[in-house]
Structure 1
Amino acid sequence: MRKLLIILTSLLLTACVDDSASYHVDGENGGHVLTLHRVQKHFWSKDSDVEIIIQHLPDCLRRIPLTAMPADDVEVELLSGGDNVWTLRAGEEVWQVESQTCSQYPDVKGDGGELIGVFRVDEKKLVFEAAVLETVPDTAPAHK
């Protein structure tokens, strides 16, 4: 009976997801961080609850629930509108938060701003991938 309990316990623990990925606004040593967290509450559930954790120390720290998503298919874009306004977009769902006071806006305003990166699952782990900005070559002829 004890062996069966050990096997069942290990199955319950290995099937659940609980991880996060962070974007450090001020670099690795700053206290201004946006963290996306996903948690799959039950091993039989295919969805995970997704939330954003806003940290802007010493001013504020807050968790804001966003939505439920397939546990292995979380993908959320992070956009910056400037002035500590951030837009999170997952498909048709969009949220806007402000990180000076760690609050969520009731309505999304504007186009979201510049793409900063994407939170997504890579090899079963949630990661943040920064956007790659491409420079546009100057094709205009030089004036003499």
Structure 2
Amino acid sequence: MRLRALLLALLAVPVLSACVDDRASWQIDGTREHTLTLVREQPVFWDKKVNLYLVVSRMPACTRRHSLGAATDKTRVTIYQVPSGAFIVQVGKRMYATESRTCEAWARLEEEPADGMGELRGAFRVRNGELAFVAEKPGAAGDEEE
């Protein structure tokens, strides 16, 4: 009986390890109290898609979790900040707008805003098998040598 339980537990390890359930955060003001966190969940290992969520948090004032929909486990999620302080979140071709003043505003954008995407802050991506936020280096976007 004990051997059977041990064998079942060992057989379950590869099945459970194939699921994705991770997160990475960007500290907006360099503090843990003001963040955008990407959450990736893959409830079943045989599904190629993961569910993506963005948690907008400015503690102690607000925290809200918004759905970004389904994507692959390699999908890059890019963050832009507009002058008003709001954020544009790009997931593949989809774009969303959110803010961290109340953490409640959330809207899908059908096209790029007329005023532009704002300042590129970085992207959530998989690096060395781990989800991470990779900050944009200041001045790197659009710089060309003359």
TM-score bracket relative to the smaller structure: 0.7 to 0.9
Distance, in Å, in 1 between the alignment partners of 2:108 and 2:67 is 15
Matches of 1:42 and 1:4, distance apart in 2? 21
Specify every segment of 5 or more residues in structure 1 that has no aligned partner in the other structure, as ranges.
140-144
2:60 to 58, 61, 64: 58
Indicate the residue corresponding to 1:38 in structure 2.
40
State the distance in 1 between where 2:49 and 2:80 align.
24
The 2-side partners of 1:77 and 1:47 are apart by 18
The answer to whether structure 1 residue 83 and structure 2 residue 88 are counterparts is no
Counterpart of 2:131 in structure 1 is 126
Which one of the candidate residues 8, 22, 25 is aligned to 1:22? 25
* Structure 1 residue 3, shift from structure 2 partner: 3.5
CA distance in 1, matches of 2:119, 2:139: 13
* 2:120 corresponding residue in structure 1: 115
Structure 2 unmatched runs, 5+: none
CA deviations over 1:65-123 (Å, ceiling 9, x no partner): 1111112x120110001333000112210011011010233353442211000110112
| Residue type at the aligned position of 2:53 | E
Query: What SS does structure 1 have at the residue aligned with 2:8?
Result: helix
> What does residue 11 of structure 1 align with?
14
Aligned equivalents of 2:137, 2:51: Cα separation in 1: 28
Per the TM alignment, residue 6 of structure 1 is displaced from its structure 2 partner at its CA by 1.3
**Paired positions, count:** 137
Computing the radius of gyration from Cα coordinates, the structure with the larger value is 1
Give TM-score scaled by structure 1 length: 0.85
CA RMSD of aligned residues (A): 2.1
SS of 1:58's equivalent in the other structure is coil
